[in-house]
């Protein structure tokens, strides 16, 4: 109960902050922009500068440019590995069997690979240059009628989405970790099972009830921020609510995992600890591995690349689901199909196996 109070307290504290920490100002040229109260009075630009970077990043993902660059980079890395292996074979053969006629063919093959590597390296450079220019062009084209003020509002609302996604889900781990263990503890479960209700109604009723509880608090926070920012800036940005579906799906997925742990361990503490380990440590690592394009030195390590590719098809990533929710606020369609499908499979398995255990157990 106290954890639920903490969740509500987080909302109560953050909502006024999100509404009143920003204000509309006017630049010397007469244009309006959104600034934080901490900015200097003579500032001529607000937080819309941050919007440009975020929008460009989302646009790259929406159009699949990052995937194409990653694909070309992988091909180039494979060529570099082949060159390294071939160079080793040539030098070894020159030392042990310098008269071997295969050396000449291997050297010719090495030269062809070098030429292909140089061509692919140049093509990759040109692709990156083209992508940067195209993203800038499309950003100007799509947002030509968007004012600096609206850009600032969009960025600020996206920040609110990120906050609620990360912090409130973290708090919710503690909120829902005790739902199932408390229900099946001695005394409580006897009272529950004594009622003329089927077990599937009991279990899924508890699950849906937990979801609704959080959803109501989250929806209330969204509505309050939407209204508050709307009145203060005059901009009513409805795409703000487009982040809710992915946020609620992430909640349902996280709750199913915690409920599964709670039913099998019958421990509130274990549910909270394992939920934290997965959400804070494992999920962060999965998100980091999924963004190897930002860390080329790791992307060049075959073992790390293999692990990154495998995790996409085994573990759901809240990091990528959060990115999708944030992009929706900017009216950018970034739908992480792999992670949604994997997350749905996990949700079904966790709910199915945990309910089956609840159904057959003799409490």
Whether 186 and 245 share a structural domain: yes
Whether 133 and 41 share a structural domain: no
The total number of structural domains that make up the chain: 2
3-class SS at 1?
A: coil
Whether 86 and 180 share a structural domain: no
Residue 151: predicted pLDDT: 92
3-class SS at 203?
A: helix
Q: Select, from the ranges 52-56, 198-202, 213-217, 343-347, the one with the highest average predicted confidence (pLDDT).
A: 343-347
CA–CA separation, 304 vs 302, rounded Å? 6
Whether 316 and 177 share a structural domain: yes
pLDDT in tens, 227-245: 999 999 999 999 999 999 9
Whether 182 and 304 share a structural domain: yes
Residue 150: predicted pLDDT: 93
Residue 27: predicted pLDDT: 84
pLDDT in tens, 85-99: 999 999 999 888 888
Residue 19: predicted pLDDT: 94
Last residue of a domain, one of 112, 141, 170: 141
Whether 343 and 218 share a structural domain: yes
Q: Check pLDDT > 70 for residue 65.
A: yes
Whether 119 and 158 share a structural domain: no
Whether 201 and 345 share a structural domain: yes
pLDDT in tens, 294-345: 455 555 566 666 777 777 778 888 888 998 999 999 988 888 888 899 999 9
Last residue of a domain, one of 92, 118, 141: 141
Average confidence score pLDDT of the chain: 85
Whether 312 and 226 share a structural domain: yes
Residue 206: predicted pLDDT: 83
Whether 174 and 28 share a structural domain: yes
DSSP letter string, 263-302:
HHH--HHHHHHHHHIIIIIIHHHHHHHTTGGG-HHHHT-H
For 42-57, b/e burial (b = at least 16 CB within 10 A) is eeeebbbeebeebbeb
DSSP letter string, 211-262:
HHHHHHHHHHHHHHHHHHHHHHHS---GGGGGGHHHHHHHHHHHHHHHHHHH
pLDDT in tens, 19-37: 999 999 988 888 898 988 8
Whether 195 and 168 share a structural domain: yes
Choice among 88-102, 141-155, 171-185, 235-249 with the minimum mean pLDDT: 171-185
Boundaries of domain holding 91: 68-141
Tokens found for residue 349? 């398995």
Whether 55 and 78 share a structural domain: no
Where does the pLDDT of residue 363 fall: very low under 50, low under 70, confident under 90, or very high at 90 and above? low
Rg (CA), the chain: 27
C-beta of residue 138 within 8 angstroms of C-beta of residue 59? yes
Residue 300: predicted pLDDT: 57
Residue 359: predicted pLDDT: 83
Where does the pLDDT of residue 281 fall: very low under 50, low under 70, confident under 90, or very high at 90 and above? confident
Last residue of a domain, one of 103, 122, 141: 141
pLDDT in tens, 110-131: 999 999 999 999 999 999 999 9
Fill in the DSSP letter of residue 187.
T
The candidate with the shortest Cα–Cα distance to 255, out of 285, 212, 313, is: 212
Q: Check pLDDT > 60 for residue 175.
A: yes
């Amino acid at each position: 109960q106290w954890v639920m109070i903490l969740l509500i307290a987080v909302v109560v504290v953050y909502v006024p902050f999100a509404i009143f920490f920003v204000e509309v100002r006017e630049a010397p040229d007469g244009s309006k922009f959104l600034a934080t109260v901490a900015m200097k009075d003579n500032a001529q630009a607000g937080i819309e500068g941050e919007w440009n970077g975020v929008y460009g990043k989302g646009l790259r993902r929406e159009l699949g440019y990052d995937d194409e660059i990653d694909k070309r980079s992988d091909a180039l890395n494979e060529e570099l590995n082949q060159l390294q292996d071939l160079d080793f074979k040539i030098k070894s053969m020159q030392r042990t069997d310098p008269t071997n006629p295969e050396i000449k063919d291997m050297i010719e093959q090495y030269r062809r690979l070098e030429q292909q590597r140089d061509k692919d390296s140049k093509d990759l450079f040109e692709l990156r240059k083209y992508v940067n220019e195209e993203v800038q062009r499309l950003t100007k084209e799509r947002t030509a009628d968007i004012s600096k003020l609206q850009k600032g509002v969009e960025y600020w609302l996206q920040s609110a989405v990120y906050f609620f996604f990360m912090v409130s889900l973290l708090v919710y781990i503690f909120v829902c970790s005790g739902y199932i263990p408390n229900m099946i503890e001695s005394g409580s479960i006897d009272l529950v099972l004594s009622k003329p209700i089927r077990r599937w109604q009991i279990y899924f009723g508890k699950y849906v009830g937990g979801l609704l509880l959080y959803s109501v608090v989250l929806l209330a926070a969204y509505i309050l921020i939407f209204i508050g920012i709307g009145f203060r800036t005059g901009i009513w940005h409805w795409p703000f609510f487009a982040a809710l579906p992915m946020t609620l799906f992430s909640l349902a997925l996280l709750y199913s995992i915690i409920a599964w742990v709670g039913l099998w361990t019958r421990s509130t503490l274990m549910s909270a600890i394992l939920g934290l380990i997965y959400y804070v440590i494992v999920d962060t690592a999965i998100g980091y591995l999924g963004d190897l394009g930002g860390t080329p030195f790791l992307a060049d390590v075959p073992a790390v690349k293999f692990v990154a590719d495998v995790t996409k098809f085994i573990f759901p990533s809240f990091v990528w689901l959060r990115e999708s929710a944030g992009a929706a606020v900017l009216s950018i369609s970034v739908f992480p199909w792999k992670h949604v499908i994997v997350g749905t499979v996990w949700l079904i398995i966790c709910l199915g196996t945990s309910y089956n255990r609840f159904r057959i157990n003799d409490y």
